[in-house]
Amino acid sequence: MAAQTIGLGQLGLTSVYREGFETVLLLQSLQLSAGTATVVEGAGLGLALTLAVVVFALEPKLPYKKMLIFTGVLIGFVLIVMTGQTARTMQGTGWLSIHAIDVDLPYWLGLWFGVFPTWDTLPAQLLAAAFVIGSYLLAQEVKVGRPRRRARRGEVTAAPVVGRGLEAQDAPPAAPPQPVAGGTR
């Protein structure tokens, strides 16, 4: 039990550290492209709204499942933005070549959403979006679609017995132990 508790604690700390690290990377990228004042204003506004509205006013009534879904969508959006920003940064350093698309996009679209009119950034963002959406669809298929189809066909799936090999699962169950003469074994 103690090992499980330590493992769970390590997983929690690692998750929090990873989220903090991602936030720092995002804010550093934003600070380099938009300036320190923009980052401080945005962070302050976000913190004020989070504390004031969500925690104090709505805490007893929060729809946690919807919040988690919304947070997942936002994380997917951040992935797409960061992919565009990273590809653009790699173009600026010369690690990726720049193949411009002859389209005029507003400046704010690149600044806030990481969308730049190049053949190098847009496919990377589309690939990131396809990965996120594909992962979601695969998870839904495994969790909902496949069991639903099996239930319609009338298949019954037995859970595997933990600690026994596959060959042991196919064998009939062993007979219960028989008492030994004299009452002890």
Domain residue ranges of the chain, discontinuous segments joined by +: 1-61, 63-151
Q: Taking the model in full, what pTM does it have?
A: 0.50
Long-range contacts of 64-68 (CB under 8 A, 24+ apart): none
Confidence of residue 127 (pLDDT cuts 50, 70, 90): very high
Q: Residues of the chain with pLDDT > 90: what percent? A: 2
Q: Judge whether 81 and 113 are in contact, CB under 8 Å.
A: yes
| Terminal-residue alpha carbon distance, the chain | 32
3-state helix, strand, coil in the chain (%, to 5): 70, 0, 25
pLDDT of residue 171: 55
